[in-house]
Each structure stands twice: as C-alpha cells, then as structure tokens.
C-alpha cells in the first residue's frame, strides 16, 4: 500500500512540476508575477515547516530571519550599488540570516512551549522597531527602494523563483526524510527519549535553525530584488509570519511539501478573490479555518486521501 501511495503522489508531483515549467508560454505576465511571489512564499513556509517539525515548537519569528536576509541584501545594494553585484548582496543576505538564526536560537532553545513562541515573537518586534528607528539606514516605515532588480522580464523572474523553490524544496524535503532528519523529528516530538538514546538534541536543533534561516534569508533577499523594494510590511510584519504559519498548517504540517502547497493556495486564492475587494482576506481565512477544522492533515492529507490518525 505505501509504495502505491508514494508513487501516486510522485506522479502527481512530477506532473505539477512539468505544468509549472511550461506555464509561461500560456499565461500572462501578471499570473507569472503572482506565482513568483507565491513560490518565494512557499520557500518561507517550507523553511518554517522544517523548523517546526524539528524544533517541535511553534515559532512566530520566521519573519525575523526573512527580514534580516531581505534587509541586509537591500541595504547593501542601496548603499554600494553599482559597485557590489546583486548576487553578492543576496549571498550576504543569506549569511546574515544564518547569523541571525544562531543568535535567535541561543535563547530560544533554552525554553519551550509558549515561551519559545514568545521569544521568537519578541525577536520580530525588536527587528521591526530597529528598522523603524534606524530609518536613515533602512528606510524606516517608508521602506527601502533598491536600484537594481534581477530582471524586469516576468518569465525570467518566474523561472528563477520556480527553480529556487524546486531546489530548496528538494533539499528541505530530503533533509526531513534523511537519517539526521528523522532523529530531529524524534527529538522534536520527544526530547527526553531522544536524549536518552544518546543524541545531542540541542546541537541538532541548532542545525535546524541554521538551515531554516539560510533558506528563509535567501528567499527574502531574492524577493527584494524581484520587487525592487523592501518594507516592514512585506518582510518583517508579524502578519506575514502569521500567513506563513497558516500556509504550513493548511498545506499539511511537518511534510515540507504541504507548506509549499499551502502558500501557493493562499496567495492564489487571495488573487482570485480580488474582485471582491475587502472581503477577499476574510473569505480566504474562513476557507483556511474550515480546512483546518475538518481536514487536519491539510491539503496534502486530502490529496493522499483520508486523514491519518
């Protein structure tokens, strides 16, 4: 039975990827732009899901990591362009996010449950305050306009985002299923037993933070150079973090792939309902709530057919 399910899922997945690859020939630049943002958001959600699965705790701070990555890349470009290539800025952004992840992990891993959640939330609030107060450097509430973008061609941006999402997804998924990944899952769900079995739980969780931070920061930096601006409301706001958490749970938590599905759904639905104006967010939230209540395994669970106990 399992091998059948895996192979069905595999074929669905392969088909989806092929469709995604050829999409640009058939749809408008606008839809491509939407999907580009959705793909970056998918990476945010997948990184969060990895950390959630491994750390075993809900963290409210994905936007801390994303924000550090995005703003570092943005600030470097705004101040040093054209001397510094944007790819260097992006790399610097990812690196800064990793450092940020380690700095956050140190206090965060000492606590659990709501305290962990709060520590991560506080990190986001502090970053937000810092950005607003240091407006001369960061553009403050107004946001930062970066002079360079990766490309203004919608197709190029789309393929970069798609490629990035597929590669990140493969790496993150692979990690979650690898030997190390399974150990981390175990320690996430039952620290004491894992510790008793001789695994250095904390060191492994730190590694999980680093991986999540790397991908979040990298995705954030890439997105800055897609949009041409960085602002608190796009990258740091707690609301963005909320969207990411909802995407991961909606898609199917602890599955990595589910998070990507959830993110694409949320952004897609938001767009489809655009004509309804203000009601769009409301309706998407209602749909998300219904799915969570009746299909706890999220979309991936629905695709796999039936909820698992």
Q: What residues make contact with other proteins under the rule CB under 8 A? A: 28-31, 33-34, 37, 52, 58, 107, 110-111, 114-115, 117-119, 121-122, 125-126, 129, 132-133, 140-143, 145, 149, 152, 154, 189, 227-229, 231, 233-234, 238-239, 242, 245-246, 249, 253, 274, 277-279, 281-282, 285-286, 288-289, 292-293, 296-297, 307, 309
- What CA–CA distance (Å, rounded) separates 137 from 230? 12
Q: Which is nearer to other proteins, 95 or 245 (CB)?
A: 245
Question: Strand, coil or helix: what is 301?
Answer: helix
Q: Tell me the closest approach of the beta carbon of residue 31 to other proteins, in angstroms.
A: 8
Q: Tell me the closest approach of the beta carbon of residue 29 to other proteins, in angstroms.
A: 4
Q: Which is nearer to other proteins, 90 or 227 (CB)?
A: 227
- What CA–CA distance (Å, rounded) separates 231 from 182? 37
Q: Which is nearer to other proteins, 170 or 289 (CB)?
A: 289
The DSSP bridge partners found for residue 230 are 144
Structure-block tokens of residue 84: 């510094």
Structure-block tokens of residue 121: 């939330």
Q: Tell me the closest approach of the beta carbon of residue 64 to other proteins, in angstroms.
A: 13
Residue 232: HSE in the Cβ half-sphere, 13 Å Cα cutoff = 19
Instruction: Please report which helix (H) or strand (E) contains residue 144, including its range.
Output: strand 144-145
Instruction: Please report which helix (H) or strand (E) contains residue 230, including its range.
Output: strand 229-230
Q: Which is nearer to other proteins, 89 or 95 (CB)?
A: 89
Q: Tell me the closest approach of the beta carbon of residue 14 to other proteins, in angstroms.
A: 29
- Angle subtended by helix axes 257-272 and 29-55, to nearest 10: 140
Q: Tell me the closest approach of the beta carbon of residue 119 to other proteins, in angstroms.
A: 5
Q: Which is nearer to other proteins, 33 or 171 (CB)?
A: 33
- What CA–CA distance (Å, rounded) separates 270 from 41? 13
């Amino acid at each position: 039975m399992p091998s059948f399910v895996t192979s069905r899922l595999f074929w669905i997945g392969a088909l989806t990827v092929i469709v995604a690859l050829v999409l640009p020939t058939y749809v408008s630049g606008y839809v491509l732009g939407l999907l580009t943002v959705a793909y970056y958001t998918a990476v945010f959600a997948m990184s969060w899901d990895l950390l959630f699965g491994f750390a075993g705790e809900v963290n409210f701070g994905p936007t801390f990591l994303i924000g550090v990555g995005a703003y570092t890349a943005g600030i470097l470009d705004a101040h040093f362009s054209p001397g510094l290539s944007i790819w260097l800025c992006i790399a610097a952004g990812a690196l800064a996010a990793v450092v940020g992840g380690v700095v956050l992990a140190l206090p965060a891993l000492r606590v659990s449950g709501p305290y962990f959640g709060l520590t991560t939330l506080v990190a986001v609030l502090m970053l937000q305050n810092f950005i607003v107060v240091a407006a001369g450097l960061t553009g403050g509430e107004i946001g930062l306009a970066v002079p360079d973008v990766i490309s203004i061609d919608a197709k190029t941006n789309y393929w970069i985002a798609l490629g990035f999402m597929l590669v990140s997804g493969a790496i993150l998924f692979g990690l979650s299923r690898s030997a190390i990944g399974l150990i981390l899952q175990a320690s996430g769900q039952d620290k004491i037993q894992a510790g008793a079995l001789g695994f250095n739980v904390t060191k492994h969780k730190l590694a999980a933070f680093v991986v999540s931070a790397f991908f979040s920061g990298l995705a954030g930096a890439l997105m800055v150079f897609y949009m041409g601006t960085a602002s608190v409301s796009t990258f740091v706001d707690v609301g963005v973090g909320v969207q990411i958490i909802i995407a991961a749970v909606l898609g199917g938590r602890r599955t990595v792939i589910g998070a990507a599905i959830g993110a694409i759904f949320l952004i897609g639905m938001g767009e489809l309902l655009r004509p309804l104006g203000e009601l769009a967010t409301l309706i998407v939230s209602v749909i998300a709530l219904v799915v969570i209540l009746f299909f706890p395994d999220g979309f991936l669970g629905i695709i796999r057919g039936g909820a698992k106990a």
